[in-house]
Structures are given as C-alpha cells and as structure tokens.
Amino acid sequence: MNAQPRFCCAVLIDSKGRHVLERRPLTEADAPGLLTCFGGTRHDDEDPQLCLRRELVEELGFVAGDLTLVLVLHTPKGQAWFYLLEGPEEGTVRALEPGYEAVWMEETAMLSASDLSDWHRAAFLAIAAGLKSARI
C-alpha cells in the first residue's frame, strides 16, 4: 500500500462484541441520517493512524489504543482505510458534535439495519469475509 488514504475509519468493538457507530444528522451532506464508522478525512500531511486518533478524540472524546489496519476500501471518492480497535463501553462516551449520536449494535443487527451507509455495509461485509481490500 503505497498510496495514503483519503479517509480513516474506526471499526470500534466494545468488550461485549458490539460495534460502536456514529449516527449522522439529517442535515449532514454525506450519509445524512445514516450509521457510519467514526473517523474522517485525513489531512495531506497527516499519518493515517494519527488522523484516526485525532478524529476519535474530536468526535467521541475517546483515546484509541492499538490500531490494526483491516481493510482498504476503494471508493469513487478515494481510499478509506478501516482500522480495528477496542471501543468504548456504552455510557462512557458520547458523540461530541451537535446532531451526532453514538450507537452500540450487535453485528447481526448492524448488518441488517436499513440505515447503515452503503460504504460501511460494504466494508463490514468485506472484513467479515476476511478480505484485506475491497471496491465499491
């Protein structure tokens, strides 16, 4: 992987095996009202892991532990790198940006949720299949 990602995303899983997702506000330009991973756009001079750590603090007030790159998702808007890490327990953090919400979900419920964004559904299915790279 020589190219740097445009986006860095956190696959947060708590001690009960639940995914910690972000519900975006209806006013958001990208994925309005949908469930997505926490994370965001990497600055040009920023290391991907530092980007994700910054995003998690800004969006969730969460300090990340070890990050493991599990998927490179090739999208029309650029690469998104998905990192697996131990997530916060329910009730210990909340989404910090106005209109956003932190949601804890079992994987089966998440994958069948009609409000999971297409990007993230593709990423979670690829990760579950053991793929290291996928394209949407």
Report pLDDT digits (tens) over 115-125: 999 999 999 99
- pLDDT (average), residues 19-23: 98
pLDDT tens profile 67-100:
999 999 999 999 999 999 999 999 999 999 999 9
Helix (H) or strand (E) segment spanning residue 21: strand 19-23
- Where b means 16+ CB within 10 Å and e means fewer, 107-117 reads eeebeebeebb
Q: Dihedral of CA 33/95/125/40: which sign?
A: positive
Listed by start position, the domains of the chain span: 7-135
CATH superfamily label, 7-135: Nucleoside Triphosphate Pyrophosphohydrolase (3.90.79.10)
